[in-house]
């Protein structure tokens, strides 16, 4: 690995970011890093499913989802840091985002540990103590990771940003390969889930731009930045419930009807895997490109709907093609690659892909709302989507029907809220496009 050659020495006050990377070339690096992250995620899931079996995979997937639920909320740190740093590119520093983000990370870790007696037994069926400790340590580390992702995005330092994404994914994949080769069980995969978040340590050693990002300033005072970040995290928490925490919801709502029998437990395990797999092609790249999207929308805030058209169109087309492919070959792929336990109807896999497309569209409109400064509308859109989805999971129907309906209607409701928020906010001051 090499240092980012485009980085420069930071302003002594920590307010002036280094010059932006070259657009097409550097964004190409982000695309490659995103592909690495997506492929690594698929391989970790494949290794876990084949090595642990449906029951063991269910335990691992619930912890994976719980970790994703909390760190997904921390994506609000990434989002607000990107906005604050990008908006402050030509303005004096008024806060130090790294201090705000580190403080939030420590507070969140303490909250996880202190509250665990209230929920640990309901969420984690085994390795409860270790799961809580790993979760707390992981979210504290992820706070620094989120800060670096957001600051590098706001600085337009895409080379270092791409390196951070790649290292995070490859650390986790390497751990999974070692675990399978050594014959380790579910416990090892719980540890593997959180080890990628230490990638920021590696990046600080090799990238001057990353070290500069620790001192870069924000456009608003610390109190306002903290409030904005917590609002963004509240919305991102709802996003995380639908994106990473949805397997937990499937489990909880199924258990409300009584302990599932062996066949229903198999279906739930297969659904959890299918939900994860159908989302990855769209949501993994979009999560990696959130900083890119927010920077784009900030620089084009004088024409928000024109800026939205291209990303929404691309996501819609890819999602539509994905639904057709999922219907035709999805069940065969699940059985062939992961085993006979993972058997679902083609229509179910296609509808899950449609739900993933809705979530991807909601992610794009959420980035536009953040860039427009419509933090409350951003939060409202995700919470409306989450509430609608949870309500659908409680319908008196089979688990496959409930899951598909929840994943489609929830995002549709939230999408309308986001678009209304961007419309009410109106055009912002003209900025120079990237």
**0.75 cut: is pTM over it?**
no
Contact 295, 153 (CB under 8 A): yes
Q: What is the mean pLDDT of residues 272-298?
A: 81
Which has the higher per-residue pLDDT, 1 or 68? 68
Question: 75, 84, 96, 371: which is closest to 212 by C-alpha?
Answer: 96
110-125: burial string, b at 16+ Cβ within 10 Å, e else? eebbeebeeebeebbe
Q: What is the mean pLDDT of residues 346-359?
A: 93
Q: Which domain holds residue 253?
A: 23-425
Question: 36, 60, 47, 59: which is closest to 337 by C-alpha?
Answer: 47
CA–CA distance from 323 to each of 167, 304, 355 (Å)? Answer: 31, 28, 10
Which residues are CB-neighbours of 264 under 8 A, at least 6 positions away? Answer: 254, 399
Whether 129 is covered by a domain: the verdict is yes
Domains: count for the chain: 1
Rg over CA atoms, the chain:
21
Place of tokens 């989802």: 65
Q: What is the mean pLDDT of residues 235-243?
A: 78
pLDDT tens-digit readout, 74-128? 988 998 999 899 888 777 778 899 999 999 999 999 999 999 998 887 777 677 8
CA-based angle 106:110:113, to the nearest 5? 140
- Chain Cα centroid distance, residue 165: 12
Whether 7 is covered by a domain: the verdict is no
Whether 397 is covered by a domain: the verdict is yes
Contact 118, 156 (CB under 8 A): no
Distance separating alpha carbons of residues 306 and 92, to the nearest angstrom? 30
Whether 131 is covered by a domain: the verdict is yes
Q: 176 pairs with which residues across the strands? A: none
- Terminal CA-to-CA distance of the chain, rounded, Å? 27
Whether 315 is covered by a domain: the verdict is yes
What pLDDT, on a 0 to 100 scale, did the predictor assign at position 261?
64
Whether 3 is covered by a domain: the verdict is no
DSSP string, 152-180: HHHTT-HHHHHHHHHHHHHHHHHHHHHHH
Distance separating alpha carbons of residues 110 and 115, to the nearest angstrom? 8
Which has the higher per-residue pLDDT, 395 or 56? 395
What pLDDT, on a 0 to 100 scale, did the predictor assign at position 152?
93
Length of the chain: 434
Query: Which tokens is 328 given?
Result: 């035709």
Q: 430 pairs with which residues across the strands? A: none
Whether 13 is covered by a domain: the verdict is no
Whether 186 is covered by a domain: the verdict is yes
pLDDT above 90 for 385: yes
Query: Which tokens is 420 given?
Result: 């209304």
Q: Where are the beta strands (DSSP E) in 169-225?
A: none
């Amino acid at each position: 690995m090499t240092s980012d050659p485009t980085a420069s020495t930071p302003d002594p006050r920590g307010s002036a970011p280094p010059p932006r990377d070259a657009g097409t070339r550097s964004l190409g690096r982000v695309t490659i890093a995103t592909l690495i992250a997506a492929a690594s995620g698929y391989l970790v899931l494949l290794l876990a499913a084949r090595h642990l079996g449906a029951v063991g995979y269910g335990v691992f997937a619930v912890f994976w989802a719980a970790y994703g639920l909390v760190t997904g909320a921390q994506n609000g740190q990434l989002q607000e840091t990107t906005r604050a740093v990008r908006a402050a590119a030509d303005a004096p520093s008024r806060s130090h985002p790294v201090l705000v983000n580190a403080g939030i990370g420590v507070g969140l870790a303490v909250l996880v540990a202190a509250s665990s007696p209230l929920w640990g037994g309901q969420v984690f069926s085994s390795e409860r103590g270790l799961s809580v400790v790993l979760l707390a340590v992981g979210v504290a580390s992820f706070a620094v990771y989120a800060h670096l992702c957001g600051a590098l995005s706001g600085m337009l330092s895409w080379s270092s940003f791409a390196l951070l994404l790649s290292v995070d994914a490859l650390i986790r994949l390497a751990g999974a390969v070692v675990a399978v080769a050594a014959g380790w069980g579910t416990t090892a995969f719980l540890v593997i889930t959180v080890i990628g978040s230490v990638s920021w340590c590696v990046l600080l050693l090799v990238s001057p731009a990353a070290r500069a990002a620790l001192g870069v300033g924000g456009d608003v005072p610390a109190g306002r930045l903290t409030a904005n970040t917590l609002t963004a995290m509240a919305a991102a928490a709802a996003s995380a419930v639908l994106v990473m925490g949805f397997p937990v919801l499937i489990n909880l709502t199924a258990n409300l009807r009584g302990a599932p029998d062996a066949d229903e437990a198999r279906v739930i395990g297969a659904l959890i895997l299918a939900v994860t797999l159908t989302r990855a092609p769209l949501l993994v790249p979009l999560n990696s490109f959130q900083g890119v999207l927010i920077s784009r929308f900030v620089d084009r805030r004088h024409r928000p709907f024109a800026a939205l058209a291209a990303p929404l169109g691309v996501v819609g087309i890819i999602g539509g093609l994905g639904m057709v492919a999922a219907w035709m070959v999805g069940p065969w792929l699940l059985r062939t690659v992961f085993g006979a336990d993972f058997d679902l109807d083609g229509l179910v896999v296609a509808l899950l892909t449609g739900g993933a497309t809705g979530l991807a569209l909601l992610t794009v409109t959420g980035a536009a709302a953040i860039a427009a400064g419509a933090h409350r509308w951003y939060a409202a859109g995700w919470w409306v989507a989450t509430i609608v989805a949870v309500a659908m999971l409680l319908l008196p129907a089979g688990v496959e029907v409930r899951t598909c309906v929840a994943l489609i209607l929830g995002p549709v409701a939230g999408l309308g809220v986001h678009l209304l928020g961007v419309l009410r906010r109106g055009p912002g001051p003209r900025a120079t496009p990237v």
